[in-house]
């Protein structure tokens, strides 16, 4: 399963980066191959200073070895080894009229001291972080997510949408990071789902990513904006950074397993502001966004 899924992820990485370069028209992804001393490695691809994308990364990794003590305590195991592979992407467009997007699809295995597989699961999701809210874009993104989920189980979209709303929540700000999407984790063998079924589901979501995001970029990339719009984008980017460094489990897992720091922190935007006690004008588009972020919304039924 791990070889099959990692091969899929590498092919998906190729598809996504090629499509994004075609949309940007100016910048190309730079590839960085790396190895982890404890075992495994990855393929990091970063795009910067493009016509559309100010910074973005589409990374694959396949790592293995001794599960660190902190993670053994987290999982409640002793003397365990692990294998993990995944594709993680974050795209920060230059225009504040375009949303940041994050997506991740991953597979994890755990082994006992004899090297026997004792647990395995899939996880992943995708979520949208706009700076100016176009409701039809939010509906489009969630509709694609729902369509992909519905092919496998009609309960998946509402369940994984709620998990996304709960996960991408900046508790110290009491607001959502963005308008959500899907988040699923610890997807294991059950009476209804085999690991083969979870593979099919996870790859279905991965294959739907470009359909969920690129039409939004094409529709909004020519909209004019001002420096005031840009300032708001950079203030909201600060909230994005706060979530990734304070709450995100993937970031914390990477740091605790001696992951490659440049790949882990590629999700951070290049230009950010922390303006003291910034409050948008009542009735403004900025205030409208904040009101949505205070309470998760049902975008599609």
Q: Where are the alpha helices (DSSP H) in 108-248?
A: 135-150, 156-167, 195-220, 227-246
Q: What is the DSSP letter of 222?
A: T
* Residue 142 annotated to the active site: no
Cβ atoms of 223 and 54 closer than 8 Å: no
User: For the chain, what's the residue count?
Assistant: 301
Nearest to 24 by CA among 1, 2, 56: 56
Nearest-angstrom CA–CA distance, 2 and 62: 9
How many CA atoms within 13 Å lie on the side-chain side of 2?
Answer: 17
Q: Which of 102, 116, 152, 247 is catalytic?
A: 102
The Cα–Cα gap between 75 and 55 comes to: 34
Decide: 180 and 128 in contact? Cβ < 8 Å.
yes
Closest Cα partner for 213 from 44, 48, 100?
A: 100
Positions marked catalytic:
102
């Amino acid at each position: 399963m791990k070889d099959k899924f990692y091969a899929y992820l590498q092919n998906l990485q190729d598809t996504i980066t090629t499509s994004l370069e075609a949309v940007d028209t100016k910048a190309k992804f730079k590839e960085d191959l790396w190895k982890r001393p404890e075992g495994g490695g990855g393929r990091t691809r970063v795009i910067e200073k493009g016509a559309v994308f100010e910074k973005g990364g589409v990374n694959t990794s396949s790592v293995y070895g001794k599960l660190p003590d902190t993670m053994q305590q987290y999982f409640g195991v002793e003397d365990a080894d692990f294998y993990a592979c995944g594709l993680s992407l974050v795209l920060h467009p230059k225009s504040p009229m375009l949303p940041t997007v994050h997506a991740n699809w991953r597979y994890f295995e755990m082994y006992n001291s004899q090297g026997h597989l004792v647990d395995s699961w899939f996880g992943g999701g995708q979520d949208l972080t706009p700076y100016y809210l176009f409701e039809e874009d939010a509906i489009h993104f969630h509709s694609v997510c729902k369509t992909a989920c519905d092919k496998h189980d009609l309960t998946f979209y509402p369940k994984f949408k709620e998990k996304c709303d709960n996960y991408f929540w900046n508790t110290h700000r009491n607001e959502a990071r963005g308008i959500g999407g899907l988040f699923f984790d610890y997807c294991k063998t059950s009476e209804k789902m085999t690991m083969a079924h979870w593979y099919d589901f996870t790859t279905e979501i991965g294959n739907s990513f470009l359909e969920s995001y690129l039409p939004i970029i094409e529709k909004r990339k020519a909209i004019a904006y001002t420096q005031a719009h840009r300032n708001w984008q950079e203030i909201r980017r600060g909230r994005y950074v706060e979530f990734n460094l304070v709450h995100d489990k993937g970031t914390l897992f990477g740091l605790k397993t001696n992951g490659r720091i440049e790949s882990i922190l590629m999700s951070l935007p290049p230009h950010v502001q922390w303006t003291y006690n910034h409050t948008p004008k009542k009735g403004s588009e900025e205030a409208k966004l904040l009101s949505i972020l205070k309470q998760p919304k049902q975008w599609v039924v």
